[in-house]
Amino acid sequence: MDNADFILLAATGLVLLAVAGAAATSRAGAPLLLVFLSLGMLAGVEGPGQIDFHAHDQAYLFGSLALALILFDGGLGTRLRGLRMVLRPALSLATLGILLTAGLTAVAAHFLFGLGWVESLLMGAIVSSTDAAAVLALIGNREMQARQRVVTTLEAESGFNDPVAVILVTACVQVLTTEGAANIALMAVSIIWALAAGAAVGWFGGRAIALVERRVHLPESLYPIFSVTAAVFLFALAQSISASGFLAAYLAGVSLRSVSAGPAKAATERFSDGLAWLSQIGLFLMLGLLVVPSHAAAVALPAIALALVLIFIARPVTVLLLLLPERFRMNERAFIAWMGLRGAVPIFLGSFPVIAGVENANLYFSTAFAVVLASLVIQGWTAGPVTRLFKVAPPRLAGSRRHAVRAFGIAAGGFVAMAAAMYIGAGILDQRGTVIEAETVGELRQALARSDLEAGIRVERLPGDWPDLPLEERRPLFTDLVLRLIAAENAQIREDRTALRRLIQWEAEGRVLSLSEQAEREQLARSYGGRYDDLDALLTRVDIIPPRLAVAQAALATGWGSSREAIERNALFGQAGGLDGFATLSLSTSDYAQLLNTHPDFSAFRAQRAEMRAGPGPIEAEGLAGTLGAYAADGPAYIQQVRAVLDSVPAD
């Protein structure tokens, strides 16, 4: 099969699957855009489809076109009178609202991701914009029949707010790539120009389209083709003069609707509606293909936390403040705050750092995807019931309360499932390799005898008959067990260290990292508590724990494995491990290694180990024991105890 034929087959097959998926999930109230995005992910490089699509520049071009068509169709559905009534609040939300949302989200990003303030503002700006595709898709849903004034405000906001977000993201990217300060005055002028020029191009362009339709006689089927093509032309014209093409496309639709009449109007609206649906399907399928789920999973916890801050704090605070002077009831303000959906635009804006070559660009793109996913699940799934909860929709027949409860339950379940999947995918519940569950001491001896000393072993818990073991037998067996446990941990650390040294070499060679390589670098920095931009410092954290040192500390903490903490809570090194301890002995060992490699109290341990690494000799337990005073309340006494136990532990 020719490559072109395969591409055509795959593309049309995905669209057909998207339509079928929308029909299959409609009864569950799933947001259609979430269905399309999920199908794209399944077809992507980490899904069954195995389609490797990573052309961010091409995706930006196609996505811009799709958004322009969606916004033009949204404009065709907006009454001019209704737009005039909400113009001031919509503009307020689209300008000051973007800045305030980006600022509040940036504060959260600073603490959640440990980013600098410029990087945090970039993160906030990327996710600050509501999405026209997501908002318009929900507004068109028969389940969400909110009052027209509220709907038009949301619609206009999503059409107006892109210029401010784009300019803010562009300014942050320029600062990060040129090391220059942003010109606030120039940014303000750029925002005003983008809004004013985009509005002028769209408004007068829409009037021009209507004029041509009245003056030029065309076959009825050509009117919609002419109108849509002209709208795309206006979008491109506005973009070429640094104005907002998205605003131009939206207002072109509004302007055309206000003066168009006759068969041309009906034909254009029908054609545009179908084309907008096709654009939405194609857009979110493409974004699903572009995203690598494992990259998003690597930043799952802070990304989901950022989404919750955005949904429950930043957006509500922004809306309630900016709509105070407007004639909206409190329930309408609350509904507008809830309906700040994120969709295609944040993922697009997340591509800006990738295209510009910003350091750690994968972090912004993957986080934007995770935020969009959370927004579609939480806000999109509950949109219909929320219209009735806040009483901004006409009353429904009996059974609506059950419908609302079911929708909220499905949304909550969907969010929990999504968070759990990303949590597990991030490796937080990491159980690399086979975990041995020995029921008896004899089975444990056999497992240890079969294991490789270098590769180590992962063990679930101490055997049930372990407490009956005499000290003279328990002591050597415990030593062997801890040696194997720490060996397994050190094997993973060596792999991470090799990967990090490879990244350091590539950085020295001036190589530009791919998104997958950036994700690997970000994950290493996050796992070992280091900085993404300081690989040499990170390398001092990514190093092995001397096996004999681990044995000595475990022996002191548990009395050679006889303590209740070791037997019942799998705590080998004196850690708490939560209410129920550790799930396995291997997780306790991982926690111990992470403590020494990341905690500020053990910076002297890491510095001494780095000196040993640079010297001619091995990394020795005796030389590092003196840096472990912070491990116990009485540091000097603890160090003496560790050294005393080391004398009885066989040499490596």
What's 530's domain CATH number?
A: 1.10.530.10
- Lowest mean pLDDT of 172-181, 324-333, 617-626, name the range: 172-181
Per-residue confidence at 304, pLDDT binned at 50, 70, 90? very high
Strand partners, 435: 458
Decide if pLDDT at 427 tops 70.
Answer: no
Asked if 144 and 231 sit in the same domain, the reply is yes
Cα→Cα distances 391→286, 335, 405, Å: 36, 9, 15
> Based on the number of CB atoms within 10 Å of its own CB, is 186 exposed (0-12), middle (13-18) or buried (19 or more)?
exposed
CA distance 260 to 499: 62
Decide if pLDDT at 19 tops 90.
Answer: no
Strand partners, 44: 51
Task: For residues 586-598, give the mean pLDDT.
Answer: 93
Asked if 473 and 356 sit in the same domain, the reply is no
The number of CA neighbours under 13 Å toward the Cβ of 321 is 13
pLDDT per position as a tens digit, 194-222: 889 999 999 999 999 999 988 888 888 89
Q: Does residue 374 belong to any structural domain of this protein?
A: no
Q: Does residue 403 belong to any structural domain of this protein?
A: no
Asked if 36 and 130 sit in the same domain, the reply is yes
Asked if 360 and 491 sit in the same domain, the reply is no
| Amino acid 141: pLDDT | 56
CA distance 28 to 21: 11
**Which of residues 366, 396, 419 is at a domain's end?**
366
CA distance 212 to 229: 13
> Based on the number of CB atoms within 10 Å of its own CB, is 563 exposed (0-12), middle (13-18) or buried (19 or more)?
middle
| Amino acid 123: pLDDT | 96
CB 572, CB 588: distance < 8 Å: yes
Rounded to 10°, the helix 245-259/80-113 angle is: 160
Q: Does residue 395 belong to any structural domain of this protein?
A: no
| Listed ranges 40-44, 246-250, 427-431, 531-535; the one with the highest mean pLDDT | 246-250
Query: Under 8 Å CB-to-CB from 89, ≥6 apart: which residues?
Result: 153, 322, 323, 326, 328
CA distance 635 to 637: 6
Asked if 163 and 57 sit in the same domain, the reply is yes
| Amino acid 394: pLDDT | 56
| Amino acid 477: pLDDT | 93
Structure tokens at 270: 């029908």
| Amino acid 501: pLDDT | 94
Per-residue confidence at 498, pLDDT binned at 50, 70, 90? very high
Asked if 255 and 359 sit in the same domain, the reply is yes
Q: How many whole angstroms from its chain centre is CA 97?
A: 22
Task: For residues 269-288, give the mean pLDDT.
Answer: 87
CB 101, CB 315: distance < 8 Å: yes
CB 197, CB 243: distance < 8 Å: yes
Asked if 245 and 124 sit in the same domain, the reply is yes
Asked if 75 and 224 sit in the same domain, the reply is yes
Per-residue confidence at 408, pLDDT binned at 50, 70, 90? very low
Asked if 150 and 257 sit in the same domain, the reply is yes
Asked if 357 and 457 sit in the same domain, the reply is no
Q: What is the 3-state secondary structure (H, E, C) of 178-205?
A: HCCCCCHHHHHHHHHHHHHHHHHHHHHH
Task: For residues 630-648, give the mean pLDDT.
Answer: 92
> What CATH number is given to the structural domain containing 223?
1.20.1530.20
| Amino acid 649: pLDDT | 85
**Which of residues 366, 399, 424 is at a domain's end?**
366
Average pLDDT across the chain, whole number: 84
Q: What values do phi and psi take at 8, rounded to 5?
A: -65, -45
Task: For residues 224-252, give the mean pLDDT.
Answer: 93
| Listed ranges 16-20, 65-69, 435-439; the one with the highest mean pLDDT | 65-69
Q: Does residue 560 belong to any structural domain of this protein?
A: yes
Q: Does residue 561 belong to any structural domain of this protein?
A: yes
**Which of residues 366, 396, 425 is at a domain's end?**
366
Cα→Cα distances 312→101, 305, 378, 454, 577, Å: 12, 10, 11, 49, 31
Decide if pLDDT at 426 tops 50.
Answer: no
Angle CA(626)–CA(629)–CA(632) in degrees, nearest 5? 140
Q: Which amino acid makes up residue 246?
A: F
Per-residue confidence at 146, pLDDT binned at 50, 70, 90? low
Task: For residues 580-595, give the mean pLDDT.
Answer: 90
CA distance 93 to 193: 18
CA distance 554 to 571: 9
Structure tokens at 141: 């849903």
Asked if 283 and 179 sit in the same domain, the reply is yes
CA distance 133 to 150: 17
- Residue 52's SS3 state is coil
CB 134, CB 153: distance < 8 Å: no
| Amino acid 28: pLDDT | 58
Number of compact structural domains in the chain: 2
Task: For residues 476-493, give the mean pLDDT.
Answer: 92
Q: Does residue 331 belong to any structural domain of this protein?
A: no
Per-residue confidence at 160, pLDDT binned at 50, 70, 90? confident
CA distance 31 to 382: 9
Decide if pLDDT at 431 tops 60.
Answer: no
CB 161, CB 245: distance < 8 Å: no
Percent share of the chain, pLDDT over 90:
35
Asked if 156 and 273 sit in the same domain, the reply is yes
| Amino acid 21: pLDDT | 73
Closest CA to 520 of 497, 540, 537: 497
Decide if pLDDT at 525 tops 90.
Answer: no
- Lowest mean pLDDT of 37-51, 305-319, 472-486, 634-648, name the range: 37-51
Which is more confidently placed, 359 or 596? Answer: 596
Task: For residues 60-73, give the mean pLDDT.
Answer: 88
Task: For residues 1-7, give the mean pLDDT.
Answer: 66
Cα→Cα distances 317→89, 331, 337, 426, Å: 15, 14, 8, 31
C-alpha distance across the termini of the chain, in Å: 59
- Lowest mean pLDDT of 118-122, 126-130, 427-431, 546-550, name the range: 427-431
Residue span of the structural domain in which 348 resides: 3-292+344-366
Q: Does residue 316 belong to any structural domain of this protein?
A: no
Query: Under 8 Å CB-to-CB from 558, ≥6 apart: which residues?
Result: 565, 566, 571, 572
> Based on the number of CB atoms within 10 Å of its own CB, is 308 exposed (0-12), middle (13-18) or buried (19 or more)?
middle
Decide if pLDDT at 80 tops 90.
Answer: no
CB 176, CB 118: distance < 8 Å: yes
| Listed ranges 19-23, 108-112, 428-432; the one with the highest mean pLDDT | 108-112
Q: How many whole angstroms from its chain centre is CA 334?
A: 25
Q: Does residue 273 belong to any structural domain of this protein?
A: yes
Q: Which amino acid makes up residue 60?
A: Y
